Amino acid sequence: MSKKGKVYVIDDDVAMRDSLNFLLDAAGFDIRLFETALKFLDALPRLEFGCIVSDVRMPGLDGIELLKRLKSDQNRFPIVIMTGHGDIPLAVEAMKLGAVDFLEKPFEDDRLVGMIETAIHQGEPAAKNEAVSRDIASRVATLSPRERQVMDGLIAGLSNKLIARDYDISPRTIEVYRANVMTKMQANSLSELVRLAMRAGLLKD
């Protein structure tokens, strides 16, 4: 991981891709280049958080359609749109769809670098928070139906004895399920389990 974060450049113009690669690499970013928006979307599920820098006019899927796809998928990667002269109405539409900013070609190198730094800095906390929530949800998904029932009882403040009575099983068996829940949820205490449940949306704070 580079010190400034990842940047995903999408442009069908090879000269522009090479130019941006040289500029952003020199500025300390970790760069990955894509010649089409579709190739980027194919790779997206495996990509770490970073800033997208995309041309607005491209064959196949253009920058506007890319933004629409990202918005519908609730993707939080910030995106900076590059636009040619006369494409300002498109750039404004891009902003309405969630682009963090747009640059009219030719643009100043420092301005692009500054935009990317700001976008990564502002977007990273939310992206990290979302990643943690997804991780917790995946832990919840590993619980068996009975383990989930026991966890629900625990985070509701019920004792092992009361949970056992609710499901007509022995308190000793509840102890086994409780241990499984704590292991699968990676919780070291009941208070930590409650916090994890809150992050997963299972318990309102």
If asked whether residues 43 and 72 sit together in one domain, one would say: yes
- pTM exceeds 0.75 for this model: no
Q: Cα(139)–Cα(181) distance, rounded to whole angstroms? A: 10
Domain with residue 42: its CATH number is 3.40.50.2300
- Kindly report, residue by residue over 58-100, the tens digit of the pLDDT: 888 888 899 999 888 878 889 999 887 667 787 788 888 888 8
Q: Which residues pair with 82 in a beta bridge?
A: 55, 103
If asked whether residues 110 and 10 sit together in one domain, one would say: yes
If asked whether residues 106 and 11 sit together in one domain, one would say: yes
Q: Cα(29)–Cα(74) distance, rounded to whole angstroms? A: 25
In a domain, residue 23? The reply is yes
If asked whether residues 19 and 84 sit together in one domain, one would say: yes
If asked whether residues 39 and 101 sit together in one domain, one would say: yes
In a domain, residue 135? The reply is no
Sequence-distant (≥ 6) Cβ neighbours of residue 35 within 8 angstroms: 10, 11, 12, 14, 17
Structure-model confidence comparison of residues 92 and 36, the more confident one? 36
If asked whether residues 90 and 46 sit together in one domain, one would say: yes
When divided into structural domains, the chain yields a total of 2
| Residue ending a domain, choose from 101, 128, 155 | 128
Q: Cα(15)–Cα(25) distance, rounded to whole angstroms? A: 15
Distances (CA, A) of 12 to 18, 38, 196: 11, 11, 44
Outline where the chain has alpha helix (H). 14-26, 37-43, 63-72, 88-96, 109-141, 145-155, 160-167, 171-184, 190-199
If asked whether residues 55 and 88 sit together in one domain, one would say: yes
In a domain, residue 165? The reply is yes
pLDDT band at 204 (very low <50, low <70, confident <90, very high): low
If asked whether residues 153 and 124 sit together in one domain, one would say: no
If asked whether residues 36 and 93 sit together in one domain, one would say: yes
Q: Cα(67)–Cα(32) distance, rounded to whole angstroms? A: 18
| Residue ending a domain, choose from 84, 102, 128 | 128
Q: Is the dihedral of CA 102, 107, 49, 130 positive or negative?
A: negative
Residue 145: cis peptide before it, omega within 30 degrees of 0: no
Q: Cα(23)–Cα(27) distance, rounded to whole angstroms? A: 6
- Kindly report, residue by residue over 109-126, the tens digit of the pLDDT: 898 999 899 888 887 766
Sequence-distant (≥ 6) Cβ neighbours of residue 167 within 8 angstroms: 146, 149
If asked whether residues 93 and 148 sit together in one domain, one would say: no
Domain with residue 188: its CATH number is 1.10.10.10
If asked whether residues 53 and 105 sit together in one domain, one would say: yes
pLDDT in the model for residue 18: 92
Instruction: State which residues form the domain around 162.
Output: 142-199
| Residue ending a domain, choose from 128, 158, 185 | 128
In a domain, residue 204? The reply is no
